[in-house]
Chain A
Amino acid sequence: MAATTETVEQVRAVTEQKYKYGFTTDIESDVAPKGLNEDTVRFISAKKEEPEWLLEWRLKAFRVWQEMEEPRHWAKLSYPPIDYQDAHYYAAPKTKDRPKSLDEVDPELLKTYEKLGIPLREQEILAGVEGAEGKSPAIAVDAVFDSVSVATTFKAKLEEMGIIFCSISEAVHKCPELVQKYLGSIVPYTDNFYATLNCAVFTDGSFVYIPKGVRCPMELSTYFRINQANTGQFERTLIIADEGSYVSYLEGCTAPQRDENQLHAAVVELVALDDAQIKYSTVQNWYPGNAEGVGGIYNFVTKRGACRGRNSKISWTQVETGSAITWKYPSCILQGDNSVGEFYSVAITNNFQQADTGTKMIHIGKNTRSTIVSKGISAGRAQQTYRGLVKILPKAEGARNHTQCDSLLIGDQCGAHTVPYIENRNRTARVEHEATTAKISEDQLFYCRQRGLSEEDAVSLIVNGFCKEVLKELPMEFAVEAQKLVGISLEGSVG
Chain B
Amino acid sequence: MATTTLTKAPRGYDPAAAKPFLEQFDRVKDGLPGAGLSWLTDLRGQGHDRFAALGLPTVKNESWRYTNLRALDKLSFQPATDAGEAVRFDLLPTVRADGATGPRLVFVDGRFRAELSSTAGLPAGVELLNLADALTRKPDLVAEHLGRIAAPDDQPLVALNTAFLADGPVLHVPRGVTVDETIELVFVSVGTEAQPTAFHPRGLIVAEAESRAVIVEHHVGLGSCTTLSNGVTEVFVGAGASVHHYKVQREHTDSFHLSHTAAKVAGKGIYDNFILTIGAKLSRNEVTSVLDGEEGDTHVSGAYMVRGGQHVDTTTFIDHAKPCCTSREVYKGVIDDQARAVFQGKIIVRPNAQKTDGYQQNRALLLSDTAEIDAKPELEIYADDVKCSHGATVGELDDDQLFYLRARGIDKDTARGLLIGAFLSEALEEIAEESVRDAFQSYVANWQNAR
Question: CA A407 – CA B379 in complex, angstroms?
Answer: 10
Known contacts A420-B377, A426-B369, A433-B377; is-contact A412 B351 (Cβ 8 Å): yes
Interface centre among B352, B378, B384 (most CB of A within 10 A): B384
Contact with B along A407-440 (1 / 0, CB 8 A): 1011111111111111111111111111111110
Q: Give bound CA distance, A415 to B382, whole Å.
A: 4
Is A394 in contact with chain B by the CB < 8 A criterion?
Answer: yes
Please name all residues of chain B whose beta carbon is closer than 8 Å to the beta carbon of A79 when the two chains form the complex: none
Per-position binary interface string of chain B over residues 358-385, scored 1 when its CB falls under 8 Å from any chain A CB and 0 otherwise = 0000001011111111111111111111
Q: How far is the CA of A436 from the CA of B381 in the complex (A)?
A: 11
**Any chain A CB within 8 A of the CB of B140?**
no
- Given A427-B371, A430-B394, A435-B387 contact (CB < 8 Å): no
| Chain B stretch 376-416: residues in CB contact (< 8 A) with chain A | 376-396
Identify B373's interface contact among A407, A413, A418, A422, CB under 8 A. Answer: A422
| Contact pattern, B 211-255, Cβ under 8 Å of A = 1, otherwise 0 | 000000000000000000000000000000000000000000000
Chain A residues, CB < 8 A from B382: 414-415
- Residue in chain A with minimal CB distance to B62: A74
B148, CB-defined interface residue at 8 Å: no
B354 is an interface residue with CB less than 8 A from chain A: yes
A427 touches B396 (CB 8 A): yes
A399 to B376, CA, bound (A): 19
Q: Which residue of A lies closest to B373 (CB)?
A: A424
- Mostly helix, strand, loop or mixed at chain A's interface? strand
Q: Is the CB of B384 within 8 A of A414?
A: yes
Q: How far is the CB of A247 from chain B (nearest CB, A)?
A: 34
CB distance from A249 to the nearest CB of B (A): 32
Per the bound structure, the CA–CA distance linking A282 and B100 in Å amounts to 68
A73 contacts the other chain (Cβ, under 8 Å)? yes
Given contacts A412-B354, A421-B374, contact A427 B366 (CB under 8 A): yes
Task: Please name all residues of chain B whose beta carbon is closer than 8 Å to the beta carbon of A423 when the two chains form the complex.
Answer: 372-375
User: Is the Cβ of A412 less than 8 Å from the Cβ of B381?
Assistant: no
Expressed in whole angstroms, the minimum distance between the Cβ of A329 and any Cβ of chain B is: 15
Name A430's contact: one of B354, B378, B393 (CB within 8 Å).
B393
B103 CB to nearest A CB, Å: 41
Task: Digitize A64-80: 1 where CB-to-B-CB distance is under 8 Å, 0 elsewhere.
Answer: 00000000011000000
For B70, list chain A residues within 8 Å (CB): none
Known: A412-B351, A412-B385. A422 touches B376 (CB 8 A): yes
* Max chain B C-beta neighbours (<10 A), residue from A73, A419, A424: A424
Query: A386 → chain B, closest Cβ, in Å?
Result: 9
Q: How far is the CA of A438 from the CA of B391 in the complex (A)?
A: 15
Residues of A within 8 A of B370 (CB): 394
Distance in Å: Cβ of A434 to nearest Cβ of chain B: 5
A432 to B391, CA, bound (A): 7
B138 contacts partner chain A, Cβ-Cβ < 8 Å: no
B11 at the interface (CB under 8 A from A): yes
Q: How far is the CB of B381 from chain A (nearest CB, A)?
A: 5
Which residue of chain A has the shortest Cβ distance to B374 in the bound complex?
Answer: A423
Find chain B residues with CB under 8 A from A412 CB. 351-352, 354, 383-385
Known: A433-B377, A439-B384. A424 touches B391 (CB 8 A): no
A439 — nearest CB in chain B belongs to which residue?
A: B384
Provide the residues of chain B in CB contact with A415, threshold 8 Å. 380-382
CA A407 – CA B347 in complex, angstroms?
14
Q: Decide if A427 touches B379 in the complex (CB within 8 Å).
A: no
Given A407-B381, A411-B384, A418-B379: A435 and B389 interface contact (C-beta under 8 Å): yes
Question: Could you tell me if B368 and A437 are in contact, using CB atoms closer than 8 angstroms?
Answer: no
Which residue of A is nearest B12, CB measured? A73
Q: Which residues of B are found within 8 Å of A426, using beta-carbon distances? A: 366, 369
Write the nearest CB–CB distance from A427 to chain B, whole angstroms. 4
The smallest beta-carbon distance between B128 and chain A, in angstroms, is: 41
**A residues 216-256 with Cβ under 8 Å of B?**
none
Q: Report how far A426 CA is from B393 CA in the complex, Å.
A: 13
Give the chain A neighbours of B374 by CB distance below 8 A: 421-424
CA distance A305 to B374 in the complex (A): 24
Decide if A439 touches B394 in the complex (CB within 8 Å): no
Residues of chain B within 8 A (CB-CB) of A416 are: 379, 381
Task: Establish whether residues A433 and B11, one from each chain, have CB atoms under 8 Å apart when the complex forms.
Answer: no
A432 touches B392 (CB 8 A): yes
- CB-nearest residue of chain A relative to B375? A422
Q: Which residues of B contact A437 (CB under 8 A)?
A: 379, 381, 386-389
Which residues from B are CB-within-8-Å of A425? 371-372
Do residues A418 and B390 form an inter-chain contact, with CB atoms below 8 A? yes
Instruction: Chain B residues near A436: list those with CB within 8 A.
Output: 388-389
* Most chain B beta-carbon contacts within 10 A, residue among A74, A429, A433: A433
Chain A residues lying within 8 Å of B387, measured Cβ to Cβ, are 437-438
| Residues of B contacting A420 in the complex (Cβ-Cβ under 8 angstroms) | 375-378, 392
Looking across the interface, which residue of chain A has its beta carbon closest to that of B348?
A: A417
Measured between beta carbons, the chain B residues less than 8 angstroms from A409 are 381, 383-384, 386
Note all chain B residues with C-beta closer than 8 A to A424. Answer: 364, 366, 372-375, 394
Asked if residues A439 and B393 are in contact (CB atoms below 8 Å), the reply is no
Q: CA–CA, A429 to B376, complex, Å?
A: 17
> Smallest Cβ distance from A372 to chain B, in angstroms?
13
- Which residues on the A side are within 8 Å of B367 (C-beta)? 427
Which residues on the B side are within 8 Å of A407 (C-beta)? Answer: 379, 381
> Hey, which chain B residues are within 8 Å of A422, CB to CB?
373-376, 392, 394
- Choice from B368, B372, B377, B386 contacting A435 with Cβ under 8 Å: B377
Contact residues of A between 372 and 424, Cβ < 8 Å to B: 394, 407, 409-424
- 15 more A-B residue pairs beyond the given contacts A424-B372, A439-B386, with a C-beta to C-beta distance below 8 A: A394-B370, A412-B385, A416-B379, A417-B381, A418-B390, A421-B375, A421-B376, A424-B375, A425-B372, A427-B396, A428-B396, A429-B366, A430-B393, A433-B377, A433-B391
A–B pairs, 25, beta carbons within 8 Å:
A409-B383, A412-B352, A412-B383, A415-B380, A415-B381, A415-B382, A416-B379, A416-B381, A419-B376, A419-B379, A420-B376, A420-B378, A422-B376, A422-B392, A424-B372, A425-B371, A427-B396, A430-B394, A430-B395, A430-B396, A434-B390, A434-B391, A435-B377, A435-B379, A439-B384
Question: Across chains A and B, which 5 residue pairs bring their CB atoms closest together, nearest first?
Answer: A409-B384, A430-B395, A422-B375, A427-B366, A418-B379
